[in-house]
Chains A and B, each alone.
Chain A
Amino acid sequence: MATETLKPSATLASGPTPRNTTLGKVRTHPTQNEGLIFEKSSPGKRAVKLPPLDVPEADAERILGDSFRAEPAPLPEVSEIEIIRHFTRLSTWNYAIDLGMYPLGSCTMKYNPRVNEFIARIEGLAEAHPYQPESLAQGSLEVVSLLEQCLIEITGMDAITLQPAAGAHGEFTGILLVRAYHESRGNARRKVIVPDSAHGTNPATAAICGYEVQNLKSNALGMVDVAELERIVDEDTAALMLTNPSTIGVFESEIHKIADVLHAKGALLYMDGANMNALVGKARPGDFGVDVMHLNLHKTFSTPHGGGGPGSGPVACKAILEPFLPTPVLARKADGSFGWNFDRPQSVGRVRAFYGNYGMFLRALAYILANGPDGLRQTTEDAVLNANYIRASLEDLYELPYKTASMHEVVFSDRRQAQRGVKTGDIAKRIIDYGFHPFTVSFPMIVSGALMIEPTESESKEELDLFIAAMRAIASEVEETPELVKNAPHSTRVSRLDEATAARKPVLRWRPVE
């Protein structure tokens, strides 16, 4: 179809890329064009055959009356082979961890073990209904219990809820615990302090929990300015939301002082656990003064990101916050069996129906069991080693705005490349041509033109060397042929897309041609 004809985009040199040309670790091969599924629809095609109805037909029009749907929704009418081809073709347009390094900083794009997918589909677990009698759900509940124990041990906290559906939802839950704690002491307090290096979800969370957000400027090292913190914390401060290691991949070495400053004024320390992949088995937030934190099972614990979700964001806390956890909480009964306890008078309430993204609990537990204590520690060490290896291999060519020791990710800036008119976003687009997913661009905001690189433990030395070689080649291109970088990517199915028009005149659904 005309709209899908792939025109040649701006080419590397001039003319089409010759066959068999390798750039770094890739060379191009054809991808199939594919229209929208609606464009393949034709009345009468089907991909489903229902078994015959074994009860009498019901008179739907009579039962539903005015609520009867006269016109079925115009869903596509296609056959099974077309469905398989359609979605398979679409899938080939994606980059993925399974294809190569995906160093999207802050997102911890690590390998997603396939045994996790297998066990999540075991019938008795996959088909469990959340309202089936507890006596017939003991297997599901045992999984919850063991995962809770493991996560409590890993974080060094006292209690946990697995109910939140993602990291931001965990933040919401955690800050509600903070609020309920303060309320129980007579005053919810007014503000939450958020460092300027924080993820956008942190201030957004504080706001939807009814708190005023107070920004905390980072110091010259990109870390919490403890003196400034001490100056602004007062009896109106409910909590500080801190990411540790921070978003520049640096451990807040004064973490306990930070906790002390907060605790002296009755405020609590919330930790965004997005970067927990740097700590598992090496240090525990509960030991360094954190009162409440969330984990991202889809980051640290290997559950798949799935193109944007599902995630899972358990919240672990100290004993002082335990009474406020969302209902229900898992309890062990006198007879040794597990059950849900709904009798929680001080609870903040429910944050999600049922018990959370249970399918992710299964996968996270499978990951923990596959690793054991030694594997978890080695994983963390490898993640930190990988980031430091990249840092040591690129810091001569890319500006390192903060020289503090890196943990699991390294943040460069585009300062040198910007002098040639090339921005972090351009470098990101160019690394696509070399067969990599880009790093995180323009975040954290305290670094102008940030390149935030998180390799995770899943990358071999070979893949890291290819990434480093690509980044070094791009640095040379910036000097010699900056336009090549500024117009990248050159090898993808589509070239840079017109985002401005997409936002100005939004087309958010397909409509049939009249």
Chain B
Amino acid sequence: MRYLPKSPAERRAMLDRVGVTSADELFHVIPEEYRLRRDLAVPPQMGESEIIDHFRQAAAKNAVGYASFLGAGCYRHYRPVVIDSLVQRGEFLTSYTPYQAEITQGTLQAIFEFQTMICELTGMDVANASMYDGSTGAAESIMMATRITGRSHSVVASTVHPEYREVMSTYAQHQGLPSSTVGYDAKSGRINLDLLDAAITSDTACVLVQSPNFFGVVEDIPAIAAIAHAKGALLIVSIAEAISLGIVRPPVEADIVSMEAQSFGVALSYGGPYCGVIATKDRFIRQMPGRLVGETRDADGNRGFVLTLATREQHIRREKATSNICTNQALVALMATVYLTVYGKEGLRELARQNLAKADFAAKTLASQPGTRQLFATSPRFNEFVLFTEEAPATLNARLLDQKIIGGLDLSRWYPELGHATLWCATELNTRAQMEAAASTLACAPVEA
């Protein structure tokens, strides 16, 4: 076995020291009836080239060479080469949670930089070292808000990513935390502020909205915050498309921001691993879940970094912890940190501008075809938009696939009231030619056989 660094002679020498004749003897404490006396039925050992072939064959069965307009919580952005050069350094890749600060200063300083960048992007005071992803981060934010306020109820916008809402509901329902959903204004695609106001009770811990929301529409955060705060509820803003922060006003009125940082240089990878992160105001730090890195000094006065405020965490507090989270998404957070360093202040701005322009052009081009129109067209938006078509999304998308185009996401599964609606995303990677090809396919009325 090529990963095992021992010769038969070395194994024998070690067995001698231990005082047994075979390694199998070391398992004698397992009652014989539970011992596996056969080979596991898994595929036989493969050489490295066979392994690569195996996965290449799998890859070939996926969509390769398609233009894609899918977004909806997972965004295709260019990943600068230096990201993988750096995160594949063994010192980052093959270390673990920096419990021993003296020999993990690299990871600790990088996390400190990540926390700082997330604060700068979101307008919050403090950010943690990462959560699993945007959906679990949102669920943990609600639990955090219930601890801060001592209230149990949450109000969630129906324009939050439907899968995020499912996860929040899983977390809340098993702890007996009630939740209600508030619908959107049919014209603007933004949360209905009157319904929101009516939904908040004296037991409401928080209001959770996503911005840009699932339709790509930017919510009116100051107005939502005013309504929530007037009734003593906290405002949580979930952000699924992090690149938006390059040009969309940060949700500074929020009490908690729960973000998915996948857009910052993380491959789509069929849905994960991604990188959630929670940011908040200073006064709520001690109710925050997840790891935090803080700056300090060593005995000789040198600057250094440590994991801190661990008394919130499970390994100290056990059943009284703020969360059960232990392993997080550190390496993915490092990808995001490198990405944000590569793009920098001006680069992220320009990238966000390009995304906005691409989506704007795509929306106009697609919506100008016969039988189609853009929904929520007058609302502020970033790089996603909803298209209404007379043709059913299933048949439309089948025709697009024939042209090697993966069209917008069919929304009928979650928003049947919208009819033939699809959610489109255009990033800096979508070319004008792709948009025009999609538009001309849309324009071709289906030919009756």
Contact = CB atoms under 8 A, between A and B. Distances in A.
Nearest to B296: A502
A288 B344 CA distance: 55
B268 A153 contact: no
Interface stretch (B12-20, B201-209, B229-237): B12-20
A139 B112 contact: no
B308 interface: yes
A355 B323 CA distance: 22
A64 B211 CA distance: 12
Contacts of B11: 382, 385
Nearest first, the 4 A-B pairs at minimum CB distance are A354-B271, A306-B331, A124-B59, A98-B90
Contact of A370 (B2, B112, B292, B319): B2
Contacts of B440: none
Given A129-B70, A357-B272, A499 B306 contact: yes
A208 B323 contact: yes
Contact of B302 (A6, A50, A66, A166): A6
A7 B299 CA distance: 10
Interface in B379-429: 380-381, 397, 401, 406, 409, 428
Given A129-B68, A140-B58, A392 B19 contact: yes
B113 A38 contact: yes
A509 to B, nearest CB: 4
Nearest to B340: A75
Given A123-B59, A251-B29, A366-B55, A308 B298 contact: no
Interface string B161-183: 10110110111011110000000
B432 A55 contact: yes
A80 B51 contact: no
A402 interface: no
A298 B96 CA distance: 10
Given A256-B31, A461-B13, A503-B294, A122 B59 contact: yes
A73 B1 contact: no
Nearest to A192: B319
Contacts of B169: 349
A94 B90 CA distance: 9
Given A139-B60, A168-B326, A459 B306 contact: no
A353 B89 contact: no
Interface stretch (B149-157, B347-355, B366-374): B347-355
Contact of B92 (A8, A94, A209): A94
Interface stretch (B39-47, B191-199, B441-449): B39-47
Interface string B289-328: 0011111111111111110111101111111110111111
Contact of A75 (B31, B61, B117, B247): B117
Interface residues on B, range: 35 or more
Interface in A109-157: 109, 111-113, 115, 117-133, 136-140, 142-143, 146, 150, 153-154
A369 interface: yes
Interface residues on A, range: 35 or more
A128 B63 contact: yes
A442 to B, nearest CB: 10
**Residue from B4, B52, B320, B334 whose CB has the most chain A CB atoms within 10 Å:** B4
A307 B271 contact: no
Nearest to B95: A96
**Residue from A86, A91, A121, A377 whose CB has the most chain B CB atoms within 10 Å:** A91
**Residue from B64, B72, B246 whose CB has the most chain A CB atoms within 10 Å:** B64
Given A130-B74, A139-B60, A498 B23 contact: no
A222 interface: no
B82 A165 contact: no
Given A50-B347, A80-B82, A508-B115, 15 more contacts: A36-B112, A50-B351, A64-B380, A76-B340, A125-B270, A131-B72, A137-B63, A154-B42, A253-B31, A351-B170, A353-B164, A389-B18, A494-B300, A498-B299, A508-B295
Interface stretch (A197-205, A225-233, A412-420, A471-479): A197-205
B21 interface: no
A53 B354 CA distance: 7
A501 B167 contact: no
A206 B314 CA distance: 11
B187 interface: no
Contacts of B76: 127, 129
B55 A213 contact: no
11 contacts: A3-B302, A53-B357, A75-B341, A122-B55, A124-B60, A137-B62, A139-B58, A495-B298, A502-B306, A506-B294, A509-B125
Given A204-B314, A348-B170, A353-B133, A432 B103 contact: yes
Contacts of B36: 281-284, 287
Nearest to B66: A136
A507 B218 contact: no
B185 interface: no
Interface string A83-100: 110111111111111110
A183 to B, nearest CB: 10
Contact of B116 (A113, A405, A459, A510): A510
Interface stretch (A17-25, A171-179, A262-270, A314-322): A171-179
A63 B381 contact: yes
B107 A307 contact: yes
Contacts of A461: 6, 10, 13-14
**Residue from B2, B102, B120, B330 whose CB has the most chain A CB atoms within 10 Å:** B102
Contacts of A495: 102, 298-300, 302
B106 A94 contact: yes
